[in-house]
Every structure is written in C-alpha cells, then in structure tokens.
Amino acid sequence: MNTPPLKNTTKSYGMVAIALHWLAAVWIISLFVLGLYMVDLGYYDDLYKTGPYWHKAMGVLLALVMIGRFIWRGINPKPEIAGSAPVKKAAEVVHTLLYVWVGAVITSGYLISTADGRAIDVFGWFEIPATLTSIVNQEDIAGVIHLYLAVGLISMAGLHALAAIKHQFFDRDGTLVKMLKVTRNV
C-alpha cells in the first residue's frame, strides 16, 4: 500500500501542508475565542492571569508554526487553482493577505505583551524579549489594533472557507477536497 505523499503535487496538497493548514486554522480560532473571552474577565476570575499567559505563549508558538508553514509553502509545488484567470489571481491575493494578516495580528499581540518591557514567557521553554517599548500608550493602541485585526482575520478566514465551499459544491472543481484529504494524483 502506498503512503500518501508528504509534499504537494501540482494536483493536490501533501500531508504536511494539510496538517499545517488545519492546525493553524484551529489554533487561530481558539486564540480568537480565548481573546474575546479574556476581555471581560474580572480580577477574581480563575483565568484572569492564566488566560493571557496561555494566549501569549500560544500566539508565539503560532508564529513559529506560521513561519514553518510559509517555508513549507515556498519549497513545495502549488496545486493548480481551478477557475478563470481572475479567480486564480483572487485566490493568490487572498492567500497572501491571510499570511500577512496573521503576521499583523501576531505583531500587534507582541506589542501589547511587551509594552511594559517584560519578555513573553513561552511555557518556561524560552522567552521572546521586549524590543519596542517606547511608543506612548503602546499597550492600548496595539490592543485596539489587535482586536480589529483579529476580527478582520476571522472574517477573512470565514470568506475563505465560504469560497472553498462554493468551489466544491457549486463549481464542483474539487477545491475543498484538496485541503481535506490527501489524494494520490501525481
């Protein structure tokens, strides 16, 4: 029995790309939900200190996953995008925007977390040092930006998912299946 490919082909995504895609998707949604939940926590809530700690540490780890995902994307063939030239261009633009948007959310989160000069502790494994701390009201400004960027990212990801569903069920071009399972087409 043949094992499914690790790398992409021009027809399908490989196991690594699929795993990184869904890992990032679940991770981002989880961080978004936790972030929204934390906004209303009071000082005496159980998650008042642990929620932000987990959110920061998981945000740093997400940054590492996204860097790995970006590198993996760069060294693999891209499966062909179905549709007309404008549809293909739109898909490329949206994918690029999603990467940039995730980076912007992570950067704004970093600016919130390090505004007071303290490093971000990642589960005691390592720390990310504070480097930019001189912006007046940095924590507040970065916090507002972080919220708007996060809502925008989730909205864009929702549209991305709807587009994949549209391609799969209305256009019947197999777009969604490429990211749901590994095929053996070469």
pLDDT in tens, 29-49: 999 999 999 988 888 888 888
Residue type, 51: G
Cβ burial of 85 (10 Å; 0-12, 13-18, 19+) is exposed
Q: Is the pLDDT of residue 182 over 60?
A: no
Decide if 3 is inside a domain. no
- How many separate domains does the chain show? 1
> Which structure tokens are listed for 71?
């590198």
Decide if 4 is inside a domain. no
> Which structure tokens are listed for 119?
């490093």
Q: Among 18-32, 131-145, 162-176, which is the least confidently predicted range?
A: 162-176
Beta bridge partners of 120: 128
Give the residue numbers spanning the domain of 162. 15-180
Decide if 165 is inside a domain. yes
> Which structure tokens are listed for 167?
């391609």
Give the number of residues written for the chain: 186
User: Which pLDDT score, from 0 to 100, does residue 61 have?
Assistant: 97
Q: pTM score, two decimals?
A: 0.88
User: Which pLDDT score, from 0 to 100, does residue 107 have?
Assistant: 97
Ramachandran assignment for 124, one of left (phi > 0), alpha (psi -120 to 50 degrees), beta (any other): left
Query: Who's near 142: CB < 8 A, 6+ residues apart?
Result: 108, 109, 111, 112, 115, 135
* pLDDT, the chain, mean: 90
DSSP 8-state class, residue 175: H
Decide if 7 is inside a domain. no
pLDDT in tens, 103-142: 999 999 999 999 999 999 999 999 999 998 888 999 999 9
Decide if 6 is inside a domain. no
Decide if 122 is inside a domain. yes
Beta bridge partners of 126: 122
Q: Is the pLDDT of residue 184 over 60?
A: no
Q: In this structure, are residues 167 and 175 in contact, taking their beta carbons and an 8 Å threshold? A: yes
Residue 134 or 154, more confident: 154
Q: Among 52-66, 127-141, 168-182, which is the least confidently predicted range?
A: 168-182
Q: In this structure, are residues 6 and 16 in contact, taking their beta carbons and an 8 Å threshold? A: yes
User: Which pLDDT score, from 0 to 100, does residue 116 have?
Assistant: 93
| Band (83; pLDDT cuts 50, 70, 90) | confident
Q: Is the pLDDT of residue 186 over 50?
A: no
Q: At what angle do helices 85-113 and 138-169 cross, to 10 degrees?
A: 150
